[in-house]
Amino acid sequence: MMKILLRIRAAAMLLGAFVWDLIAASLDVARIVLSPHIRTRPTIAVVPVSVTRPWAVALFAYFTSLTPGSTCLHVSEDRTRLYLHLLNSDDPEASAARFKRLYERWILELEG
pLDDT in tens, 72-87: 999 999 999 999 999 9
Strand partners, 101: none
What would the pLDDT profile of 46-65 be if each residue is shown by its tens digit? 999 999 999 999 999 999 99
DSSP labels, 17-61: HHHHHHHHHHHHHHHHHHSSS-----EEEEEE----SHHHHHHHH
2 — pLDDT class (breaks 50, 70, 90):
confident
Give the pLDDT band of residue 22 (cuts 50, 70, 90).
very high
C-beta separation of 47 from 107 below 8 A: no
Q: What is the pTM of this model?
A: 0.90
